[in-house]
Amino acid sequence: MNYGIDFTGGTLMKYGFERSLTDSQHSTADVVAQTWVMLDEYGLSKCQIQVSGTTELLIRTATQDEDTAAQQAEQVAGGLRELFGDRAGTPKVLGRDLVGPVVGERLRNTALLALILGAILILIYIAIRYEFRFGVAGVVAIVHDVLIVVGVMSLLGAELNSEFVAAILTVIGYSINDSVVIFDRIRENMRLYRGGLFAEIANTSLLQTMTRSINTTVTTLFALIALFFFGGPAIHAFSLALIVGIA
């Protein structure tokens, strides 16, 4: 896996401007996109960019050396001045913090624990609400969807960061939502067709809920595709992971 800055550590640089970075003609997405292009020219393509308020910009890079980070901070300040100086004034370095690999490893372990704990809680809920075998089936469906997303994103070389974890959790939510709808229909049909074969009842229930599942998936994909193409490079990996997981 290609772990991102969140999980490997790096440098957080905070810049402040005299005036607002955004206006009626320049959105937050525009600011992030322009900053990303500038950082890519400086060889800092592995970075995260966030606009804080209207006059502050947060940039995370993979640099873990203090001297190199100091040089990059000044270099980036010069680039930001060229990009936004006329509109927002001269940028100032408000702070620079180094996040070591130990902290990154702790965040990675916490994210993994959150995924495992979520799967266990889902298993318990469905086992109580329906049957234990339904709970197992729901968790298997979740694992299947998550493995597909992780596998595809790994092949594409995407970074595993906090946004990716958020995408995985969203995919889990969609997966279990579809599973619950199917389980509910199976339970209704088991009451309606008492004595029938479980395999036939399950197949009938799947056919009855298929139209609803397809409509929900297609509608969501429209929004995600628009987000992927027009949301800027900062959320490409997030939106792509959702597209793969939901499709």
Collapse the DSSP code of 131 into the 3-class scheme (helix H, G, I; strand E, B; otherwise coil) and give the result: coil
The residues of the chain scoring below 70 in pLDDT are: 1, 6, 100-104, 233-234
Could you give the count of Cα atoms lying within 13 Å of 122 in the half-sphere of its Cβ?
24
Q: At what angle do helices 28-41 and 66-88 cross, to 10 degrees?
A: 130
Q: Which part of the chain has CATH 1.20.1640.10?
A: 104-246
The Cα angle at residue 108 between residues 52 and 231, in degrees rounded to 5: 40
- The pair of three-digit structure tokens given for residue 92, joined into one six-digit string: 């100032």
pLDDT for 133: 82
pLDDT for 101: 65
Distance of CA 173 to the CA centre of its chain: 13
Q: Which part of the chain has CATH 3.30.70.3400?
A: 10-99
Collapse the DSSP code of 136 into the 3-class scheme (helix H, G, I; strand E, B; otherwise coil) and give the result: helix
- The torsion of the CA quartet 116, 122, 128, 134, rounded to 10 degrees, works out to -100
Could you tell me the fold of the domain covering 104-246? Multidrug efflux transporter AcrB transmembrane fold (1.20.1640)
Could you tell me the fold of the domain covering 10-99? Alpha-Beta Plaits (3.30.70)
What whole-number distance in Å separates Cα of residue 196 and Cα of residue 55?
A: 66
- The pair of three-digit structure tokens given for residue 202, joined into one six-digit string: 């399950």
What distance, in Å, lies between the first and last C-alpha atoms of the chain? 22
Distance of CA 40 to the CA centre of its chain: 21
Characterize 31-61 residue by residue with b for buried, 16 or more Cβ atoms within 10 angstroms of its Cβ, and e for exposed: bbbbbbebbeeeebebbbbebeeebebebbb
Characterize 165-187 residue by residue with b for buried, 16 or more Cβ atoms within 10 angstroms of its Cβ, and e for exposed: bebbeebbebbbebbbbbbebbb
Question: For the whole model, what pTM was predicted?
Answer: 0.72
